[in-house]
Amino acid sequence: MRIEKRAAPSRRMQLAAPLLAIAFTLLVSSLLVAWAGAPVGKAYALLLEGGFGSTFAWSETLTRATPLILTGLSAAVAFRARLFNIGAEGQLYAGALAAVAVGGLHGGQGFALHPALLFPAMMAAAALAGALLLLGPALLKSRLGVDEVVTTLLLNFIVLLFVSMMLDGPMKDPGAMGWPQSVVLQDALQLDKLIERTRVHTGLLWAVGLAVALWALMKYGTLGFEIRAVGANARAAAFAGMPVGWVTVKVALLSGALAGLAGAIEVAGRTSYVTLDMSPGYGYSGIVIAMLAALNPLGVVAAAIFVAGILVGADSMSRAVNVPTYIADVIVSVSLLSMLVATMAAQYRIVFGRRAAHAG
């Protein structure tokens, strides 16, 4: 018995791999659920119900999925070009802060511009803030070879401290009774609800629309071609005449802008102001989602809904059977690991004896 690489991955295995990965994930997680003293079957049932079992559950899941789609797209486009942007969390906060800076009620009233002009300006400011935040690391990478994983990761802490400073200083809401939170966004700039009496907002449509647009760009656009070529073989791309450094910069602007928009849409659709805990790690989860989706923009939508459903479902499960909500993080992490292993393993096969090798 030995392991051989397949000449071409088989269709059947490619479909079976994710299912096996999910089964493995549930198995591992059930050990932890049992350890916490809860009935495994009931816990999973509650988790599923809490995430996907009712209109309310779906509304919560989709609300949670909205920023995750955007940070997932941010990671997916950057990773495709081998620009490892770990800084979506910081870019999200920068976008949120920029959105409030343009659209917030400063001193009781904001910029007296018509919402039809102010809204695009707010979104553009958020996208720009995120984009500029990633521009530095991208230039350092393409010019000096500085590792962008380090720079983008560390920038997250700098941005968070900066946001903290702003929320306790110039942008603090005087009416918040001392809480460190920003001024509130103008009413006219807030996104409409998709369904009455739920929290799902039109930001979901934005996110899905951007996913489709990014998918089309990657498949049909020259920029998408450049991104795929530079990511797959930068030396060959440079030889052929692609401006590799410029492509890296364009990818950085795109990726940063998507993460910045995640922040703005979260503010405009859900929180209406910035706090330091408005993102429970959406930027980092975006990386997981992008990997789960194999960097495919449409896959990001599905992966984001999956992850959001687990997170929301785990919340309601933990209330009912007293399993810590951290189980959600375990499920998401294990599912990522097993998905990566499964997709890799699908490229190999186990051969028994000698005759099998001949048949292949």
Residues that bind other proteins (CB under 8 A): 4, 7, 220-223, 225, 228-229, 232-233, 235-242, 354, 357-358, 360
- Residue 39 or 221 having the CB closest to other proteins: 221
- Residue 191 or 251 having the CB closest to other proteins: 251
Given a contact cutoff of 8 angstroms between Cβ atoms, the answer to whether 174 and 105 are in contact is no
Identity of residue 249:
V
Q: Exposed e or buried b for every residue in 92-118, given b needs 16+ CB within 10 A?
A: bbbbbbbbbbbbbbeeeebbeeeeeeb
Distance, in Å, from the CA atom of 183 to the CA atom of 356, rounded to the nearest integer, reads: 69
- Residue 157 or 239 having the CB closest to other proteins: 239
Helix (H) or strand (E) holding 139: helix 115-139
- Residue 67 or 299 having the CB closest to other proteins: 299
Distance, in Å, from the CA atom of 234 to the CA atom of 304, rounded to the nearest integer, reads: 29
Helix (H) or strand (E) holding 336: helix 326-345
Identity of residue 135:
L
Q: How far is the CB of 352 from other proteins (least distance, A)?
A: 13
- Residue 31 or 213 having the CB closest to other proteins: 213
- Structure-token pair, residue 200: 């799902």
- Residue 242 or 257 having the CB closest to other proteins: 242
Distance, in Å, from the CA atom of 316 to the CA atom of 239, rounded to the nearest integer, reads: 54
* Eight-state DSSP code of residue 104: B
Distance, in Å, from the CA atom of 283 to the CA atom of 265, rounded to the nearest integer, reads: 14
* Eight-state DSSP code of residue 348: E
Q: How far is the CB of 100 from other proteins (least distance, A)?
A: 33
- Residue 108 or 241 having the CB closest to other proteins: 241
Identity of residue 244:
V
In angstroms, what is the C-alpha Rg of the chain? 22
Q: How far is the CB of 3 from other proteins (least distance, A)?
A: 13
Q: How far is the CB of 245 from other proteins (least distance, A)?
A: 12
Report which of 274, 76, 51 is spatially closest to residue 162, judged by C-alpha positions.
274
Given a contact cutoff of 8 angstroms between Cβ atoms, the answer to whether 65 and 269 are in contact is no
- Residue 37 or 353 having the CB closest to other proteins: 353
Q: How far is the CB of 301 from other proteins (least distance, A)?
A: 23
User: Residue 232: how many CB atoms within 10 A of its CB?
Assistant: 12
Report which of 129, 64, 138, 148 is spatially closest to residue 91, judged by C-alpha positions.
129
3-state secondary structure of 120: helix
Q: How far is the CB of 106 from other proteins (least distance, A)?
A: 38
- Residue 158 or 344 having the CB closest to other proteins: 344
